[in-house]
Every structure is written in structure tokens, then in C-alpha cells.
Amino acid sequence: VDHKGEEEKELKTSPAKSFGNVIFQILLIDLIFSVDSILTAVGMTNGLEGALYIMVAAVVISVGVMMLFAVPVGTFVNNNPSIQILGLAFLILIGFMLITESMHLSEAILVGQTVGAVPKAYLYFAIAFSLGIEFLNMKMRKKKK
């Protein structure tokens, strides 16, 4: 809607990020997400010979894979806003599941009944099903164009 008397304002655009800046961000994010995996691996490999070399190799490989796929995945997500919303929904769903597990709500008693844990297979099925439906929708939209 165009209202009389209102001036159009120019949008300020942010400068494009340099390749080095993008690589730094990928490395930083991978480092943050790897800390949990490293701590878990250390706990699981306690006392095994050569475990340190395996863990270092795994982290280096994961950084390489993340750097290899960061741009194509980022481009795909930026070109498909519905995937962004779906990703946000997955993060909220997984976060909620992690919170309920950490609070041990599966052992809670509500109205005289034990609540019980939600099987992870339900979560995985919901994610796979919604991704499948979204990819079908994307195909349909592509055919219409």
C-alpha cells in the first residue's frame, strides 16, 4: 500500500563477507560443536591405545567436511525459506526433547500415571516425514514454474 506523504527510505545493505571471514566462522562453529563430541569420545576411549590420534583425525576430517559442504548447504537453505522454517522447527523439537530428558520428566508421575519417555524413533520419523513432504512440495512448486 502506498500512502501519500511517506518518503521511501533506502535499505542499508551489509557488506559481503570475505572468504577468510566465512572460513573463520565455520572453524569457530565447528570447534564449539566439537567440544561435546570430543568429551564424549574421551570418555568412551578411556584407556585405549592410540585413541588420541583417532580423535584428532576425526575432528580434522569433520572440519574438512563442514568446510566442503558449508557453501552448498547455505545456498540451498537461503534459496528455500521453507527449509529455514523447517530447520527452526527441528531445532525447537530437538531442544524440547533434550530439556525433557535432562529434567527426567519420563520418571514423573502425572495423575497417578508415570509419564514415560517419548521414543526417539518418533522424533526421527517426524523429521523424516516432514522433510519428505517438503521436498515433494518443492518439486511441485518447481513444476509449476
Of all helices (H) and strands (E), which one includes residue 109?
Answer: strand 109-110
Query: What size, in residues, is the chain?
Result: 145
Cα torsion 69, 70, 74, 77: sign:
positive
Amino acid, single-letter form, for residue 30: D
pTM for the predicted model, two decimal places: 0.59
Distance CA 126, CA 19 (A): 36
Q: Report pLDDT digits (tens) over 33-88.
A: 767 677 776 777 777 777 778 777 877 787 788 788 888 988 998 898 899 999 89
The single residue listed with the C-alpha cell 515433494 is 136
Give residue 129's pLDDT. Answer: 96
Distance CA 28, CA 31 (A): 5
Q: Report pLDDT digits (tens) over 76-114.
A: 988 988 999 998 999 899 888 888 888 887 777 888 888
